[in-house]
Structure 1
Amino acid sequence: MNDLCLTHARIVTPQGIVSGCLSVLDGKISHIGGKQPARQEVDAGGKLLLPGLVDLHVHFNEPGRTDWEGWAHGSAAAAAGGVTTVVEMPLNAVPATINAQALALKVAAAGASSCVDFGLWGGLVCDNRAELPELLDGGVLGLKAFMYETGDPSFPAAHDGILYSGMAQLAVRDLPLLVHAENSQIIHTLMADFQAAGRSDRQAWLDAHPPISEVEAVARVLLLARATGCRLHIVHVSLPQAAQLIVDAQNAGQNVTFEVCAHHLTLTETDFLELGAVAKCGPPLRSAADVDGLWELLLTGRINSLASDHSPCPSAMKPDGSIWDAWGGINGVQLTLPLLMTEAQQRGLSAEAAAQLVARYASHNPAHIAGLPGKGAIGVGLDADLVLFDPEAVWTLRAADLKSLHPWSPFLGREFTGKVERVWLRGQTLYGGGAVAGGMRGAWVRPAGV
């Protein structure tokens, strides 16, 4: 007797779309095909059944900044968006996750409040190299470093020497280094020049992040990783020319992957100039031609993963005055799936083709990159992390729909085609009827052997 049987579903598997039933026993997928007896039966009504999304790039800002988001609200937003596993970044929490003591605090916060499964990245900063062995032994899935100086004293950028040395430590353990690749000197020199000239307009933010600032940093970090043999993952790539450098390195045999965020696939610099601070992010939104170029790479299989870079803050930190004063981040984890499904269909894909694309690049590949066995796909023996998605539902985003603590978004008022209807985490109902199930607690996922 199974615990759950979903009938009349269009099941999105790595092998293709399967019409039929899916059964769950003890939190695992036990059967795909014909109907089997179960204690609970749910009629999917011919809708799509996708694997739960795996988002490798979220900022939930706890411990320390629960007024920004926190694990309870952040994980609820993830659940409502069909994201069943998140891997949280080490910065913006207080303290930042750059040593074993801070990791213990992060684990306690997430374990007490997260309703989705979670993994954690540690931080490589200038200079915590002596802390890295205990941090890595503690169960982080890899490390994150900035080449760009954000101005956060708790998470200073790692200069090339620190990057090189940290990469050497990670190479021994076969764990990845995630890198925010932007040239800090170019950007900060331009910012200082613009500010000295009295500029605080929205265009100044774009002008301070010219394409060369990203392209050069990507080229440089690829060289460093190649020299050390370190696994490299470059986050939020926003330019086709930067992405192509990584694709070329992959074709030459380098162990490197990269992600593109949903907002860089669905918003342009024109949107930023119209919307202002609510759409400020780093790297910034790019041209319509760049967005089209990223979609060409995605549709031809040359982008490795998709993520949200969910980075919320209190609304007061997104003022409409000086663009330099506004927090740079997008509230996005709840919207990745509907955004990608809507945009893909607008670009000519069928709902089924769009679902297969999302399943591969927002579920399967991220799980593989982070080393999360049992996650990211629908198959017998894998975790029953499932999303029932209605591809025909047409709806308009309202602030009341968002589960984030601060329900602002550059996508408010946007019409979507396709909606998350129900979500299961390891076979248990996580979301349905517009509400997150009470009492659900996610599990901490760690590298094998930790």
Structure 2
Amino acid sequence: MLDLSLNGARVVTPGGVQVACVGVQDGVIHSITDTPPAARTSLDLSGKVLLPGVVDLHVHFSEPGRTHWEGWAFGSRAAAAGGVTTVVEMPLNAIPATTNVPALDLKLAAARAHSQVDFALWGGLMEDNRADLRPLHAAGVMGFKAFMLEIDDGSFRHAPDHILYTGMRELARLDALLAVHAENSALIHGLSRDLQAQGRRDPQAWLEAHPPVSELDAVRRALLFAQDTGCRLHVVHVSLPEAARDILAVRAQGQAVTYEVCAHHLTLTDADFVRLGAVAKCAPPLRDAARVEALWELVLAGEVDCITSDHSPCPTEDKATSNIWEAWGGINGIQLTLPLMLTEGVLRRGLKLEDLAQLLSTRPAQIAGLYPRKGAIQVGADADLVVADLNSPWTLRREDLLSQHPWSPFIGRTFGARVERVYLRGQPVWEGGHVMPEVRGQWLRPQGAAVPT
């Protein structure tokens, strides 16, 4: 007698899509069969799709220190409602940033107390915490994040070239992964000063301060540094097909590099940003329609490693300004990644469901060192499962968003698919339009990471 049996859905497995029954015992997938097994709870999911829970490699929940921005409680609720069952949370936006072990302990305490989805954590590389990289690695962070773009974010700073390069050398010795935000800092800040001196404060000025060449140059520099040091590299939120092709070219030559594309860079354009203003501000910025479609071509060709949200919320008032330089730069998106990709990818462009599962679940789990426990519907994996209806149109309202500050550039957008139920390790965490309050996430460490005492 199993705990749960989900019967009759189109099940998206690593081997393809099949109508099957998925049996769950003790939080783990026990069986995938043609006929329903005996179970304490059985559900008929005929006509539905059963996907692996989404693994989002790039989220900012801002706790500790900025819980009023979002926090683990609100952020993880939004994740669960969107079918995201595992998040890998970034070191910045929290105060203190996760750049040493004491700061890691503070973040762990908040996450363990409030997260309703499973979680892994990035550490940070910045100027100057190189002595903290080895202790953080031993403590169980899944990798490290560095900004090539100079930022002012409380306790997190960027990594200028000499810090980036020497940090990569140390991470190569640890066989640790480095994620980089790749934009040319000097170029962007110089252009920004010039534009502000001209009195420019409009959205178009933000685009002009972040020209495509600023991203392309930084990506190439990061690839060169990683090649010279032997560091494993992950390039976050690639917005340019040109940069993606550079990454693919060096990988074809044997370099260890992966990259992600954000859902908003696939579903919004620079014209949307000019129309919407601060609510759609992000860095790198939204790009022109031709580049968006070129990114989709890479997605459909299987040449994008994973799709993420870069969920970066803030209080609504930090978006409510006509001065684009003052507005917070980030997209509130974790709840919408899967519905967006089902609608724009599967329903509109014919993306195969098994390819979508690779992009949102399997490949990010592999990059994070969490596979095969996470990332696929297969026997022995955690029963992180999403029930979706691909024939259920709905229009996003502000009140549908579970983030603490429910703003979004997607409000008013119609989606063709809906997330109906979500299971975390066999427990229902989202059903009937509600998050189950009793479910708690677990801390995940990459395979081989030491467990702190």
TM value normalised by structure 1: 0.98
CA contact (8 A) 2:312 2:332 kept: yes
Aligned to 1:243: 244
What code does the residue aligned with 1:26 have?
A: D
CA contact (8 A) 2:17 2:353 kept: no
* 1:424 matches 2:420: no
Equivalent residue runs for 1:297-336 within 5 Å: 297-336=298-337
Aligned to 2:2: 2
Structure 2 counterpart SS, 1:56: strand
Give me the whole-angstrom Cα distance separating, in 2, the residues matched to 1:150 and 1:169. 23
Give me the whole-angstrom Cα distance separating, in 2, the residues matched to 1:209 and 1:404. 28
Q: Shift of the alpha carbon at 1:354?
A: 4.0
Give me the whole-angstrom Cα distance separating, in 1, the residues matched to 2:259 and 2:217. 16
Structure 1 counterpart SS, 2:392: strand
Name segments (4+ residues, structure 1) moved above 4 Å. Answer: none
Structure 2 counterpart SS, 1:282: coil
Give me the whole-angstrom Cα distance separating, in 2, the residues matched to 1:239 and 1:134. 35
Aligned to 1:32: 32
Q: Structure 1's 164 and 75: CA in aligned 2 closer, same or farther, altered over 3 A?
A: same
Give me the whole-angstrom Cα distance separating, in 1, the residues matched to 2:300 and 2:348. 10
Aligned to 1:220: 221
Aligned to 1:436: 435
CA contact (8 A) 2:149 2:184 kept: yes
Q: Shift of the alpha carbon at 1:152?
A: 2.2
Aligned to 2:256: 255
Give me the whole-angstrom Cα distance separating, in 2, the residues matched to 1:401 and 1:357. 28
Q: Shift of the alpha carbon at 1:347?
A: 3.7
What code does the residue aligned with 2:5 have?
A: C
TM value normalised by structure 2: 0.97
* 1:67 matches 2:53: no
Q: Structure 1's 48 and 346: CA in aligned 2 closer, same or farther, altered over 3 A?
A: closer
Q: Shift of the alpha carbon at 1:134?
A: 1.4
Give me the whole-angstrom Cα distance separating, in 1, the residues matched to 2:110 and 2:97. 13
Q: Shift of the alpha carbon at 1:346?
A: 5.2
CA contact (8 A) 1:341 1:354 kept: no
Give me the whole-angstrom Cα distance separating, in 1, the residues matched to 2:257 and 2:59. 20
The 10-residue stretch of structure 1 (31-40 or 322-331) with the greater mean CA deviation from structure 2: 31-40
Aligned to 1:196: 197
Give me the whole-angstrom Cα distance separating, in 1, the residues matched to 2:260 and 2:136. 24
Give me the whole-angstrom Cα distance separating, in 1, the residues matched to 2:347 and 2:297. 14
Structure 1 counterpart SS, 2:187: helix
Q: What is the number of residues matched between the two proteins?
A: 447
Measured against aligned partners, the alpha-carbon deviations of 1:238-258 in whole angstroms (never above 9, x if no partner) come to: 000011100101111100000
Measured against aligned partners, the alpha-carbon deviations of 1:86-129 in whole angstroms (never above 9, x if no partner) come to: 00000010100000000000000000000000000000001001
Aligned to 2:93: 92
Q: Which runs of 5+ in 1 are unaligned?
A: none
Measured against aligned partners, the alpha-carbon deviations of 1:267-310 in whole angstroms (never above 9, x if no partner) come to: 00000000000000000000000000100011001111100000
Aligned to 1:402: 401
Q: Shift of the alpha carbon at 1:447?
A: 2.0
CA contact (8 A) 2:302 2:355 kept: no
Q: Which runs of 5+ in 2 are unaligned?
A: none
Structure 1 counterpart SS, 2:429: strand
Q: Shift of the alpha carbon at 1:205?
A: 0.2
CA contact (8 A) 2:97 2:155 kept: yes
Aligned to 2:410: 411
What code does the residue aligned with 1:206 have?
A: L
What code does the residue aligned with 2:101 have?
A: A
2:357 alignment partner, one of 356, 359, 362: 359
Give me the whole-angstrom Cα distance separating, in 2, the residues matched to 1:131 and 1:403. 35
Give me the whole-angstrom Cα distance separating, in 2, the residues matched to 1:151 and 1:25. 47
Structure 2 counterpart SS, 1:324: coil
Provide the identity percentage: 61
